[in-house]
Structures are given as C-alpha cells and as structure tokens.
Amino acid sequence: MTPRQYVLVGLMGLPLGCATVPGDVRLRSDGTPMAEKCPEKALEVMRYLRLYVGESAWVQLDANQSRAESITLHDGPLESILDQDVGTLEAPLRLYGRVWTGGAQPVIRYYEAQFLKGKDRVPICAVARLGFGQLRKRPESKPGTAILNAPRAGMYIVDEFR
C-alpha cells in the first residue's frame, strides 16, 4: 500500500457526521456570515490528510462555469474543482461549500472534499480568497449574486472561519 492508501483506509474508520449543519450560521447586517468554528471531525480528518492551515491551491470556483471569462455566483451551495494538489488531496477533486454574496465580495467556505471514483465526501475547512481585491463583485451584480471577473481563486485551508 502507498502512504496515500494508508491515509484513506484510516479515514474509513472515522465517524464523519457533525453535530451542526456546516454553513448554517448567523449573518451580519450586510449579509455576510459571522465566525464559525471548524468541526472537530474536520480538524481530525485534515490532520490525517496532511492539510495544514495556510496551505493553498488554485480552484475553479464553480464547476458549472469553469474556465469562463467571468462567472456569476449565487447565494447558497457551491461545487468547485481543485486544480492543484494540496496535502494528500490530488487534483482534480470536488469541493463542496457555500457562497454568501451580501458584502463587497462573496464569502466562500468549503466544508467537504470528494475524491474521484465515487469515494465518500470528507469534512474539511477551507475558504476561497484572491488578493488585490480581485474577488470583488462587479457593480452590475444584483442582490443574491456576485459577478466576478475571474473563474478561479485560491483555496486556503483554515482551522476556523472568521
């Protein structure tokens, strides 16, 4: 067995359920989410997967709009595609999370990763970020949406959502 296979076999024995629903958080007056703790199970899984806080990789923000010139995100669930390996996560794989579009730029939090070939989803904690204001919404974005100039962003591993 390869080291990656040992990690995946070890994950099979972990109970992956959470006491609360990830992404079900209170909102600020501008519609952005408040702080949220990373579930203990996600922290445990991330240790097994060698996903350390601050590690990052490129993602296609919306699997349905990958490689488009500009994209429109809507409040609610999001499926992204990991473009680069990070820790023991090998690209491409699916990232599942949630988008909030209430502020000047969307807030994107990832709660699960899914390996290819039908493997189970595993809990993680990550966010999408892009420096220099590049993740800002375009002015023509309607309420509940965020029109972005780029389909990609950095995905960063976190231990808490702030």
Cα(115)–Cα(12) distance, rounded to whole angstroms? 13
- Domain positions in the chain are 3-12+34-161
Q: Are 35 and 109 in contact (CB under 8 A)?
A: no
For 116-130, the pLDDT digits (tens) are 876 789 999 999 999
pTM: 0.84
Task: Reply yes or no on domain 3-12+34-161 having CATH 2.40.128.260.
Answer: yes
**Amino acid identity at 161:** F
For 7-62, the pLDDT digits (tens) are 444 554 444 433 356 778 899 998 899 999 999 999 999 999 999 999 999 999 99
Instruction: Assign 3-state DSSP to the chain and report helix, strand, coil percentages, each to 5.
Output: 15, 35, 50
